[in-house]
Amino acid sequence: MSKTLALCGFGLATRNEICVERAAYRVDAHSSNGKRVTSYLCSNHVHQAWQLTQLVMDRKFPDENLRVKSIHLHQLRQASKAAEAAS
């Protein structure tokens, strides 16, 4: 079964630039009251994960003034590595 490859969510978070790189990380974020958001980032933008995830949370819950309490980074398997593992 093939999985869809995600693109970097940098453009979705910032709404002013687009990144066409494949996502290398899934970012799961939690607020202090338990709300969650998930985003995907490439290796070039993962160092901005906290700030970008806060932007995503602000857009998803616009009137709640939530703050990111924690983020968890999950490295995604790359297509070439997944193909090698399957063979």
What is the DSSP secondary-structure string of 29-59? EEETTS-EEEEEE-TTTGGGHHHHHHHHHHH
* Structure confidence by residue, pLDDT tens digits, 23-41: 999 999 999 999 999 999 9
Q: Does residue 5 lie within any of the structural domains?
A: no
Percent helix, strand, coil in the chain, to 5, is 30, 25, 40
Q: What is the pLDDT, as a whole number, of residue 36?
A: 96
Q: What is the pLDDT, as a whole number, of residue 79?
A: 56
Q: Does residue 62 lie within any of the structural domains?
A: yes
Q: What is the pLDDT, as a whole number, of residue 1?
A: 44
Q: Does residue 15 lie within any of the structural domains?
A: yes
Whole-model pTM: value is 0.79
Q: What is the pLDDT, as a whole number, of residue 13?
A: 87
Is residue 73 over pLDDT 50? yes
CA-to-CA distance for 44 and 23, rounded, in angstroms? 10
Compute the average pLDDT of residues 71-86. 71
Domain interval for residue 57: 10-86
Number of domains in the chain: 1
Query: Under a CB-based contact definition with an 8 Å cutoff, are residues 38 and 73 in contact?
Result: no
